[in-house]
Structure 1
Amino acid sequence: MINKTLRENNIAAGFLTLIRLYLGYAWLTAGFGKLTGGFDASGFLANAVKNPVMGPDGSPVYGWYVTFIESFALPNAALFNVMIPWGEFLVGLGLMLGCLTTAAAFFAVVMNFAFMLAGTVSHNPTDILMGVIIMAAGYNAGKFGLDHYVLPI
């Protein structure tokens, strides 16, 4: 019943638009700040390797992710210096415009999990919750946006 309301109700679409705009603005401004401010991920990545999320027994909780950062992300930091700012900016743009909203929310959740696995908590859990709600709503989340014109429904 809740899922049906979330996916079909016009009032829910209005609330989803507010959530989408709020989350989109956060991603858009974060990405724009990185695009215009000379972003470099290498320090963050090196710190994530140096200070991984530790469990109660003193071992890294996400050892596989630390290995990924150390063996792939750090050697390819230049690639991540492009992908992160553009990813954040485009996710924000998609959410703000309501264009390919479900895909934008999915990639927002993926990036939030990547940041959390690297040891940053901040507002990521809240952003993940909003992203999951938008994904669960599907088309209705972008109904008052460009999805109304872009998606063949």
Structure 2
Amino acid sequence: MFNNFLRENKIAAALLTVLRIYLGYAWLTAGWGKITGGFDATGFLKGAAANPVAGPNGIVYGWYVSFLKAFAIPNAELFNVLIPWGEFLVGLGLILGCLTTAAMFFGLVMNFSFMLAGTVSHNPTDILMGFIILVAGVNAGKYGLDRYVLPFIRKAATKKEHQIQS
């Protein structure tokens, strides 16, 4: 019942619009601050690997520490681009309501990455709001560019499918 409300109701679409613009603004400004402020993830990545999330039985996310050491730290320059631009584009997508579900998915991936690295901050509330937007699907971008972009993508995909079948 709640899923139907989120996915189909016009009032829910309006509330989701406010929520996604709020969350989008937070993502956009965080990304822009990093883009214009000379962001360098190296220290954060090394710190997260050196001080992993630990519980009573040792390191909780050993696989994530391995990922940081084997891939993220050696490729810190890549992350210096991906993180700020990813945050900025997630924010832009949410504010404009353009590819909203995809933007929110990637926002959630980043939120979980930050949490796995041991940063709590506002990530839990962002994740909660993000899942609400993600569950709402198309309705979250109903009052945004998704209203025009998604039918265009569907039409192009259908046309491509017909070409493949021919």
TM-score by length of 1: 0.98
**Deviation string for 1:99-123 (max 9, x for gaps)?**
0000001000000000000000011
Separation (CA, whole Å) in 1 of partners of 2:97 and 2:84:
20
Match of 1:50 in 2: 50
Partner of 2:87: 88
Larger Rg: 2
Structure 2 stretches lacking a partner, 5+ long: 155-166
Q: Which residue number corresponds to residue 127 of structure 1? A: 126
Deviations, residues 115-140 of structure 1 (Å, cap 9, x unaligned):
00000001101111111110110111
Q: Distance in 2 between matches of 1:44 and 1:85?
A: 14
Superposed displacement of residue 5, structure 1 = 1.0
Two-structure CA RMSD over aligned residues (Å): 0.8
What residue ranges of structure 1 are gaps of 5+ in the alignment? none
Q: 1:63 offset after TM fit, Å? A: 0.6
Cross-structure match for 2:37:
37
TM-score normalised over the length of structure 2:
0.90
Write the distance in 1 (CA, Å) between the matches of 2:40 and 2:78: 10
Q: Match for 2:98: what amino acid?
A: C
Between the aligned residues of both structures, percent identity stands at 74
Runs of 4+ in 1 over 2 A off after TM superposition: none
